[in-house]
């Protein structure tokens, strides 16, 4: 009886995946349908390629780009700005968050200013920063840092307050001083929150670098988008969007990997509800 | 047997009006005129503890029992230094303590283990915080974990252990720095009845081996009697000591004693106090 119902191994595995993680299959299917439909619409209705390029044209442009040292140079400039700006913004956010989180009075004094700073759209500030720091890489790094700074700061402050009272009492009762309490329980407890902030910040950092390059730059993928737009190279512009999207996803993935390593005692972030 | 009960009755039939009790032997901790007044949000004063006097001898096992709101946990929190007293004096070996002290080992109601530390690292926490000789005490930590049957779990994380095992780790952590006094705040309250009995036996075994002075807060009368040399009975509003009962059951204690007449009699005496003061939680 059982033999009759036995399904060949490979198709059974496929069925298992379909049952356990149907979203994976559905995502891939959706991707194929969307890209295929797009390609079809562009070809059937003969849409001008300066308005919407066909996915095939985007892929060709992408491959051309990846082969050309010029494109790679622009990629590295943007990547560099993103990483350095993120590093700078996140470091300042961590440091300031650590200090503010330790002193409630300081938090109450400074936080209105921090929020005021955050409500100013960074895009609006970008031209000023370009004037102050020039058309080179440094202005992009500063713009990226101002964007990456806030989520790290906010989550660090919230995280440092997240320590359960009984853990604080444990440390106090065993005669721990402020410094020991900070490093031995408050920081580990804040880590899951800090990683949420870092994860948001690194994705925003890519946006920061591109915005900075839009305002005024001599290199970078944002600069290249402007250039290609002027020459009506739509496929080329889309190819850059693909690269930027992959870069953002890769950075997000790496951040999650690091988080799982460091905050090993916690469930992955997707499964929990956490702070800002 | 009847003689024992008669003796108990003779000694405790009239509730003692003077709650100050001096223990036999060398006094380890002495609490004098301890008061705690909380101020509520509306400014009303809540008298949580009123005139607590208690001496505990070196090596003695004292349990503190009372209905909720009698201030027994407040008393323990003041002893651990996590709560300020309003008035009174606490001395350990004639040295006044006011705030957290290195002479204490503390077991909380929940195990309160740090999930990012291994079991051994959790036990070593007091050593790290107090900057004691880590290599020396690491051996002691391992020995304590062996004593509670957790050998082989040193490198596991708290999440991998059951509630009872976690509380055992908490006991090891409380003993690792060799404190003079072990304070336990309803340590087995969160465990199921079976595990709780096992933990009581285990605690007595550890106590027998270490001969630490123990003060344990509980709301279970049988548990208080089973463990103690003396049971301190507290009553609420304001929290004060209404009686101190010496438990004359032989040691080592066995679970079978719970069914003995003498045991039942001790439980009865304590319960009478509770019903007199308005019931138990």
Report pLDDT for A8.
53
Q: B240 has which bridge partners? A: B235
Q: Which residues of A touch B106 (CB under 8 A)?
A: 170, 173-174
Cα separation, A200 vs A16, whole angstroms? 33
Tell me the whole-structure pTM to 2 decimals: 0.80
**Fold exhibited by the domain A55-271:** MetI-like fold (1.10.3720)
Q: Which helix (H) or strand (E) holds A237?
A: helix A234-262
Q: Are A163 and A154 in contact (CB under 8 A)?
A: no
Count of CB pairs separated by less than 8 Å, A with B: 52
| Chain B residues lying within 8 Å of A162, measured CB to CB | none
Phi, psi of B21 (to 5 degrees): -130, 125
Residue B172 pLDDT grade (very low, low, confident, very high; cuts 50, 70, 90) = very high
Domain spanning B2-103+180-276: CATH superfamily = P-loop containing nucleotide triphosphate hydrolases (3.40.50.300)
**Enclosing H/E stretch for B231:** strand B230-235
- Over residues A78-107, the mean pLDDT reads 93
Name the residue facing A175 among B110, B129, B159 (closest C-beta): B129
Beta-carbon contacts of residue A166 (< 8 Å; ≥ 6 apart): B108, B110, B112
Average pLDDT of the residues of chain A: 88
Position with higher pLDDT, A271 vs B36: B36
Which tokens belong to A256? Answer: 């999650």
Long-range contacts of A262-269 (CB under 8 A, 24+ apart): A262/A191, A262/A195, A263/A191, A263/A192, A263/A195, A263/B116, A264/B116, A265/B115, A265/B116, A265/B157, A265/B159, A266/A192, A266/B115, A269/A192, A269/A195, A269/A196, A269/A199
Say how far apart CA A126 and CA A214 lie, in whole Å.
9
For residue range B39-83, what is the model confidence (pLDDT) as tens digits?
877 778 888 888 899 999 999 999 999 888 788 888 999 999 888
Contact B110 A166 (CB under 8 A): yes
Q: What is the pLDDT of residues A217-252, one digit of tens each?
A: 889 999 999 999 999 899 999 999 999 999 999 999
Q: Kindly list the domain boundaries of chain A, sorted by start residue.
A: 2-44, 55-271
Inter-chain residue contact A174 with B157, CB threshold 8 Å = no
Q: What is the pLDDT of residue B25?
A: 67
- The token duo for A274 is 């956490």
Share of chain B above pLDDT 70, in %: 89
pLDDT tier for residue B26 given thresholds of 50, 70 and 90: confident
Q: Do B159 and A265 touch (CB under 8 A)?
A: yes
Question: pLDDT tens digits for A142-154?
Answer: 999 999 999 999 9
H helix intervals, A103-136? 104-119, 122-133
Report DSSP letters for A130-184, one per residue. Answer: HHHH-SSHHHHHHHHHHHHHHHHHHHHHHHHT-S-HHHHHHHHHTT--HHHHIII
User: Is there a contact between B116 and A167 if contact means CB atoms under 8 Å apart?
Assistant: no
Cβ burial B158-191 (10 Å sphere, 16+ → b, else e): beebeebbbbbbbbbbbbbbebbbbbbbbbbebb
Domain ranges of chain B: 2-103+180-276, 117-177
A173–B80 C-beta distance less than 8 A? yes
Instruction: Tell me the CA end-to-end span of chain A in Å, nearest whole number.
Output: 56
Chain A residues touching residue B159 (CB < 8 angstroms) = 265
* pLDDT band at residue A79 under the 50/70/90 scheme: very high
Give residue B5's pLDDT. Answer: 44
For an interface test with B, give the residue of A174, A186, A189, A259 to mutate (most B CBs within 10 A).
A174
d(CA B48, CA B66): 13
């Amino acid at each position: 009886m059982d033999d009759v119902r036995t399904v060949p191994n490979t198709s059974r595995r496929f069925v298992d995946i379909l049952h356990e993680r149907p979203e994976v299959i559905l995502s891939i299917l959706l991707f194929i349908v969307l890209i295929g439909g797009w390609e079809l619409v562009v070809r059937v209705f003969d849409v001008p390629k300066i308005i919407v390029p066909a996915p095939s044209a985007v892929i060709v442009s992408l491959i051309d780009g990846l082969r050309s040292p010029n494109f790679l140079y622009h990629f590295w400039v943007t990547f560099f700005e993103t990483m350095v700006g993120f590093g700078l913004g996140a470091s300042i956010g961590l440091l300031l968050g650590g200090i503010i989180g330790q002193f409630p009075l300081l938090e109450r004094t400074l936080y209105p200013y921090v929020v005021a700073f955050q409500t100013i759209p960074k895009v609006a500030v970008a031209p000023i920063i370009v004037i102050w720091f020039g058309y080179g890489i440094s202005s992009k790094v500063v713009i990226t840092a101002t964007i990456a700074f806030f989520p790290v700061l906010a989550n660090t402050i919230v995280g440092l307050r997240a320590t359960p009272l009984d853990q604080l009492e444990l440390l106090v009762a065993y005669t721990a001083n402020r410094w020991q309490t900070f490093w031995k329980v408050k920081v580990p407890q804040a880590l899951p929150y800090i990683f949420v902030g870092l994860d948001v910040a690194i994705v925003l950092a890519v946006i920061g670098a591109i915005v900075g390059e839009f305002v005024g730059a001599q290199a970078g993928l944002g600069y290249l988008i402007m250039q290609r737009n002027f020459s009506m190279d739509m496929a080329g512009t889309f190819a850059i969007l693909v690269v930027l999207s992959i870069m953002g996803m890769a950075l997000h993935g790496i951040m999650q990997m690091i988080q799982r390593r460091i905050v090993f005692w916690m469930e992955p972030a997707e499964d929990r509800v956490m702070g800002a | 047997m009847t003689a024992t009960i008669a003796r108990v009755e003779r000694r405790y039939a009239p509730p003692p009006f003077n709650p100050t009790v001096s223990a036999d032997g060398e006094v380890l901790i002495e609490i004098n005129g301890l008061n705690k007044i909380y101020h509520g949000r509306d400014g009303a004063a809540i008298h949580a503890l009123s005139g607590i006097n208690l001496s505990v001898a070196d090596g003695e096992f004292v349990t503190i029992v009372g209905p909720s709101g009698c201030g027994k946990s407040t008393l323990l929190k003041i002893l651990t230094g996590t709560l300020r007293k309003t008035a009174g004096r606490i001395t350990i070996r004639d040295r006044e303590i006011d705030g957290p002290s290195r002479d204490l080992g503390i077991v909380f109601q929940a195990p309160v283990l740090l999930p990012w530390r291994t079991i051994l690292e959790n036990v070593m926490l007091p050593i790290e915080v107090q900057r004691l000789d880590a290599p020396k005490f690491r051996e002691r930590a391992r020995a304590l974990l062996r004593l509670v049957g957790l050998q082989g779990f040193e490198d596991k994380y708290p999440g991998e252990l059951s509630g009872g095992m976690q509380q055992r780790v908490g006991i090891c952590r409380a003993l690792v720095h060799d404190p003079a006094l072990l304070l336990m705040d309803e340590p087995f309250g969160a465990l199921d009845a079976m595990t709780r009995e096992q933990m009581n036996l285990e605690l007595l075994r550890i106590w027998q081996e270490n001969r630490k002075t123990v003060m344990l807060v509980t709301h279970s009368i049988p548990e208080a009697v089973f463990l103690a040399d003396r049971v301190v009975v507290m009553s609420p509003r304001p929290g004060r000591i209404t009686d101190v009962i010496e438990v004359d059951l032989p040691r080592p204690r066995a679970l079978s004693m719970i069914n003995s007449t003498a045991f039942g009699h001790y439980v009865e005496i304590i319960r009478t106090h509770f019903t007199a003061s308005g019931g138990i939680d």
